[in-house]
Amino acid sequence: MPKNPIPLFLLVLLFILPFVYLPLLSLADGWTFPAVWPEQLTLKHWQSAQHLYGSLLYGFMLSMAVSLTATALGFWVSRSIAQHRHKERLLRLAYFPYAFSPVVYAFCLQYFFYKTGLVGTFMGVWLAQLFITFPFCVLVLTPWWTSRVFDMENLSFTLGASAAQAWRRVLWPMARPVLLLSWFQAFLISWFEYGLTSVLGLGRVPTLSIRVFQYIGEANPYVAAVGACLLLFPPLLFLWLNKQSVFRVDTV
Amino acid sequence: MGMVFFQVASLAAGYGSEKVLQDVSFTLAKGNTLAILGRSGCGKTTLLKTLAGLHPATAGAVYLNSENITAWKPRQRGILYLYQEALLFPHLNVFDNVAFGLRLRNTDALHVGAQTNALLEKLELSALSNKMPDQLSGGQKQRVAFGRALNVQPPLLLLDEPFGSLDVETRANMQLFYKNLARQQQMSSILVTHDLKEAVLLGDQYGYMENGQLTLFPDLNAFMADARTGMAHEMAFWQTMQQQADTQHAQSD
Q: What is the ipTM of this complex?
A: 0.84
A148: which chain B residues are within 8 Å (Cβ-Cβ)? Answer: 85, 87
CATH of the domain at A175: 1.10.3720.10
Residues whose CB is less than 8 angstroms from the CB of residue A150 and which lie 6 or more positions away in sequence, other chains included: A83
- As for how many domains chain B has, the answer is 2
Yes or no: say if B98 and B174 are a contact pair by the CB < 8 Å rule. no
Mutate to test the interface with B, among A84, A152, A159, A249 (most CBs of B within 10 A): A159
Q: How far is A77 from chain B (nearest CA, A)?
A: 21
- Interchain contact, A155 vs B101, CB within 8 Å: no
Structural domain boundaries, residue B249: 227-253
Assess whether A75 and A200 both reside in one domain. yes
- Interchain contact, A161 vs B75, CB within 8 Å: yes
Q: Give the pLDDT confidence of B150-164 residue by residue, as tens digits.
A: 898 898 999 998 887
Assess whether A55 and A144 both reside in one domain. yes
Instruction: Quote the CA–CA distance of A134 and A124 in Å, as a whole number.
Output: 15
- Its pTM stands at 0.81
Assess whether A187 and A219 both reside in one domain. yes
Yes or no: say if A153 and A171 are a contact pair by the CB < 8 Å rule. yes
Closest CA to B97 of B164, B163, B151: B151
Assess whether B140 and B189 both reside in one domain. yes
Residues 100-129, chain B: which have Cβ within 8 Å of A? Answer: 100-101, 103-105
Q: Give the pLDDT confidence of B91-143 residue by residue, as tens digits.
A: 999 999 999 999 998 888 999 999 999 999 988 889 999 999 999 998 899 88
Q: Is B11 left (phi over 0), alpha (psi -120 to 50) or beta?
A: beta
Instruction: Quote the CA–CA distance of B207 and A21 in Å, as a whole number.
Output: 76
Q: Does B81 reach chain A within 8 Å, measured CB to CB?
A: yes
Query: What is the band of B58 on the pLDDT scale with cuts at 50, 70, 90?
Result: very high
For the packed helices A50-83 and A208-217, what is the interaxial angle rounded to 10 degrees?
130
Assess whether B243 and B154 both reside in one domain. no
Assess whether A245 and A145 both reside in one domain. yes
Assess whether B120 and B244 both reside in one domain. no
Assess whether A131 and A12 both reside in one domain. no
Assess whether A188 and A230 both reside in one domain. yes
Instruction: Quote the CA–CA distance of A127 and B107 in Å, as a whole number.
Output: 44
Assess whether B107 and B193 both reside in one domain. yes
Structural domain boundaries, residue A122: 50-251
Assess whether B207 and B240 both reside in one domain. no
What are the φ and ψ backbone dihedral angles of B197, each rounded to 5 degrees? -60, -40
Q: What strand order describes the sheet that includes B67-68? A: B18-29, B4-15, B59-64, B67-68
Assess whether B204 and B174 both reside in one domain. yes
> Length of chain B in residues, anyone?
253
So what's the pLDDT on residue B2? 55
Q: Which of B49, B54, B104 sits opposite A159 (nearest CB)?
A: B104
